[in-house]
Structure 1
Amino acid sequence: MVLILYLTQMLQLLPKHKLAMRFNQLTATLAFDKVINASGRVPEINALKLDNAGVEYSNRGIKVDKYLTTSANNIYAMGDIVDKTAPALTSTAQFEADYLSALLTNKTTEPLRYPVIGTVTFTFPQLAQAGISIDKAKEDSNYSIKDIDITQGDFFMLEQMITHDYH
């Protein structure tokens, strides 16, 4: 059984693999073996009344040029609300914020150029992998296996991890 939820107002996990949901005034309780959350990002722009400011937008977000300028020359936009091909990630928004800061303080006049942005989707059970397994690498002399330190950080570390090459 596949159930696709759109604009659900409330979901609640109940005992015995049941899920309660409410959509508008309708409430339903369904039983599932597994529940998979594949939420997407949809910009919430209707309340901004962008038409009043002369800012163009689409159902994908606010339209900007290569300098993050909207159709209203004195208004800029960045982050998940922008209609762009770059992934809607925290690191992308941080990169755009750093770029816009540099642009508005005259530290750059170059257009924004996104770096290569890696993305990954984690699934359980694992559906795919990139590269060879550790066991195969141990068997092949072309590979070496090394222990590396893993650092756990927070969003403030993003600035140190992003290349600030805007052009």
Structure 2
Amino acid sequence: MKKIIILLLAVVAFSFKTKAQTFHVPENYTLKEKADYGKYEDDVIKGIDWLQDTPWPLEEQKRMETNVFLMKWIQGSPTVSIEINGSVAKMTEKNPQLLMTFMGGYTKYALQNKTAFDKNKANQAGVKAVIDKYVVETDHKNNSLLNKLTKIDKDGKLADWMTSDFNKTK
């Protein structure tokens, strides 16, 4: 039994490592025309996944380049528009890396749900990405709202919180 558990852990660790290495920041990308953004949608999703899967202390240069690429794409995108409200600001104030995590979760949802886009579900995807990243990053700074949201999410009540409280935090 122990050998099976060790083997499973090794497979999971290996698959995480290979997944994290599969993204490459596009070189010499151009984001000027509306059509330019569509060409990079797959790269945007891969970059978001890479940031989500890669621990903060690893590959700092690639993390910075990925953040720059994603921020430029999100800021100029003709199809994705993100509003940062008080709840998002409060979630990310002590761990500013989580702001890109929120925008990534929102953007990924928007790109994967173009025909049935729902702003509330996009915000929830962003919040869920923040919670998931906060939980796995061992060197995060403590955040009382995220501690509360982690419990709410574990209890399966994140959608309820989104409906009742997401737009109320100032």
TM over 0.5: no
The TM tier, using the shorter chain, reads under 0.3
| Larger strand fraction of residues | 1
Structure of higher CA gyration radius: 1
Greater relative contact order, per chain length (Cα 8 Å cut-off, separation 6+) = 2
The TM-score, its normalising length taken from structure 2, stands at 0.26
| Larger helix fraction of residues | 2
